Structure 1
């Protein structure tokens, strides 16, 4: 486990898991949200994002946290392990609500309220994003270890096994 991606619905607990995993494996952790978003809530260009992502993936060891479907095939082609969080929507909405008003190392600003568009994105995730992710995971090259967590407890149990 040297090149790891952590994906799944926002609010599922990906970033918390990725932090714990990085601590156990002593691998550098990279949050795609920190690469894409600027503190003023604007975004970098696709070219700048892609350059940063390629620089990370050129390394021999990393954990990359985040979905960003456009670049998922690229990351799947370089990783050796995938952790996919497939939790119920209500759990993800609850997770997203719990982080409002809290500073986060995986986002360059602090959320002060639940953005309606973001809430809708979470609600639509099982219908719009999950089928594409599942299709991509089904076509992973041989040798990629894909683990799917259906609850935060499953993820915690995995971390505790180290």
Structure 2
């Protein structure tokens, strides 16, 4: 892996595979894995207050190396400039919504490994609404934040599961590849 990609940020829609990709990147590269959901959510699905959350994220991004997954728009201004590489999973709803439903069925009532203790998997109308609206709302804000804050860092945009698999194969073969033009 090139020494310049020591901080990798993975962002995208719910159900796009952020945590799965981050876990695999960390395994292949040996970089520490940071699931932001594990830090943000306190037991019982209680969110961390904004000021405290920004402080936690500032400490996390100050580390010399990481693979970090999660959107959390209120801290993109801290994370994007700190990243050497941004992987934007830009998959369509027809992929993400079934994945979220399968994840819910698999983990319903139990904790996923990428979440804090006592946060059993759940699915509610607010999350489904956000997921449905993501392509026309949150996706654009995320893309704008990347454009505004990436400061010339590499950005890899992956739009299909096949692109994700091929990109990961390239990482396994020769380290983290450069972004596509």
- Candidates 136, 149, 167, aligned match of 1:158: 167
Shift in Å at residue 18 of structure 1? 0.4
Runs (5+) with no aligned partner, structure 1: none
Structure 2 equivalent of residue 80 of structure 1: 84
Structure 1 equivalent of residue 177 of structure 2: none
- State the TM-score, normalized to the length of structure 1: 0.93
Deviates more, 1:1-10 or 1:133-142: 133-142
Q: Residues 103-148 of structure 1, C-alpha deviation per residue, up to 9 Å, x if partnerless? A: 4211232325x31111111001111111111122223212x11001
Q: Residues 17-57 of structure 1, C-alpha deviation per residue, up to 9 Å, x if partnerless? A: 00000001111111111111112111121222222211111
Structure 2 equivalent of residue 121 of structure 1: 130
- Map 1:1-162 → 2, pairs under 5 A: 1-100=5-104, 101-102=106-107, 103-108=111-116, 109-112=119-122, 114-139=123-148, 140-142=150-152, 144-161=153-170, 162=172
RMSD: 1.3
Aligned residues of 2:6 and 2:31 also touching (Cα < 8 A)? yes
Task: Give the distance between the partners of 1:111 and 1:58, measured in 2 at CA.
Answer: 30
Runs (5+) with no aligned partner, structure 2: 173-181
Deviates more, 1:40-49 or 1:114-123: 40-49
Task: Give the distance between the partners of 1:99 and 1:39, measured in 2 at CA.
Answer: 20
